[in-house]
Amino acid sequence: MTTRLRRWQTECLELAKVHYLHHGDFFVQATPASGKTRLAAEIAHWLLEEGLIEFVICFAPTREVVAGIQRTFTVVLKQRFGDTLASVGAAYTYQSMEYQPEDFWTLFKKYRTLTIFDEMHHCAGHDPLLSNTWGQQIIQRIQNAATYTLALSGTPWRSDELPIALARYSDPEGRLICDYRYDLQTAVHDGVCRSPRITLIDNPLIFLTEEKESTASVRAFSSFQQLLGESPISYEDLLRHDDILNAVLDLGIDRLNQVRKNVPNAGGLVVATDIEHAHQIAALLHFKNESHVVVNSQTPRSHQLIDQYRHNSTRWIVAVSMISEGTDIQRLCVCVYLSRIRTELHYRQVLGRILRKMGDSDYTAWLYVIAEPLLRKYSQRIADDLPEDQAIVQTQKINQRLEKARSGQMSGDDVSWAAANDDPLLPAEEINQREMLSVEPPKLTLSFSEYYRQHLLSLT
């Protein structure tokens, strides 16, 4: 690979060389879009050159990320890398772990291997009762068999607050111990990543009409936060409202027009909630004469479409759970976040998709998001950079879940499902409240003032 290593990559590589002399596991936290895959390939190259390993096995969350790993490793290692004859290694999805034949796992015992886990936060596992499927495979088949492991994450915590497999935590604080950290603020300062400009979009005058049988009432709200907190309207209701979609998309389109004056092939990403929502957004983009492509898990040849978008000049890509982490499309520099997922982990991973730089003069990324309270809080924390408390294991909550599992209140499948989906279980009172809300709902009509407030945050 002709490009020189970045300063942080060189620094981390040298640290890994020393670390692996005494320890088998190495954990790196590096902000999304900073170049973790290249770093991993260089570490693998050094271990192979030194004769310390014979094979490299990589795991990643999606097929798209796996394809990117294979491309990078093939170039850096100057050897075949992939599931082909005479390869020095291969990359697989985490989902494929449970379908691997038994002889696949013997590789880790028969040969000296470096096993790389990309976006390691997907794998929960310190205790078999509180491990998801992927974490269990790592604990049972890899942890004590692989010669070396390299864990990578841009967002090293889980929304369900379970510990990450292979990670170490301080005692008694429960703070994640990383062997190397490279945060977003430093990456922006070093010129490695674009500086994000996050625009929170609000509306100062919202009318909600509620019709019950023969009566109707109209209430006014001065912000989305007040509307969501004091009415039956949900955040997802806002995401599907044409008035809001048009307003947010228009801001993204205007920004992409400005960026394209200097970068003709600059692209925009719209993160949609589900397939129906994606096609609703696509219809609005079509009406605005905006070229676009839609990709989701059911789209034929979706990975080919993503690769085509990577190299062509289509303006927008509308995605459902396809371009959330690890996907490298450098020309993406504008994002409209319209996903119903409101976890800081997912939000930061999406932001990472527009932070990859294309050149020295390419220094700004733009993200547009509805000013929902949680997303507002996450946006401010990004502006303040990653808070230390995000990497802390909530020991009390973990113990509570463990005791519940042991007492038989939660089946093993329930624990695995909750961890695998990175989503804490709902308490009974919240479930009951949701059921009550669904009984004979009133007819609701929303209308908005034409003026939308914008609050710009930035990381400098």
Torsion, Cα 317 323 326 327, to 10 degrees, reads: -30
pLDDT grade, residue 385 (50/70/90)?
low
Instruction: Identify whether the C-beta of residue 29 lies closer than 8 Å to the C-beta of residue 182.
Output: yes
Mean local confidence (pLDDT), 73-86: 85
Alpha helices in 268-372 (DSSP H): 275-287, 302-311, 344-352
Q: Give which of 447, 451, 324, 453 is closest to 376, Cα–Cα.
A: 453
Please say if the pLDDT value at position 335 is more than 50: yes
Cα distances from 255 to residues 315, 334, 375, 397, 456, in angstroms, run: 12, 7, 21, 43, 13
pLDDT value, residue 131:
58
Cβ neighbors of 110 (< 8 A, separation 6 or more) are none
Looking only at the bridges linking them, the beta strands covering 316-319 and 292-295 are parallel
For 410-451, the DSSP string reads: S-HHHHHHHHHTT-PPPPHHHHHHHHHHTSSPPEEEEEE-S-
Bridge partners, residue 334, by sequence: 268, 366
Q: What is the pLDDT of residue 63?
A: 85
pLDDT 10s digits, 87-137 = 899 999 988 988 889 889 998 989 999 999 998 887 776 665 555 677 677
**Could you tell me what percent of the chain has a pLDDT over 90?**
50
Rounded to 10 deg, the angle between the 36-49 and 7-19 helix axes is: 40
Tell me what pLDDT residue 248 has.
95
DSSP-derived pairing of the beta strands 292-295 and 168-169: unpaired
pLDDT average, residue stretch 144-158: 85
Indicate if the pLDDT at residue 439 is higher than 50.
Answer: no
| Nearest of 152, 128, 142, 56 to residue 97 by alpha carbon | 142
Contact in structure between 282 and 292 (CB atoms under 8 Å):
yes
Q: What is the pLDDT of residue 302?
A: 82
Task: State residue 85's pLDDT score.
Answer: 62
Of 66-70, 308-312, 426-430, which range is least confident?
426-430
Residue 438 has pLDDT above 50, yes or no: no
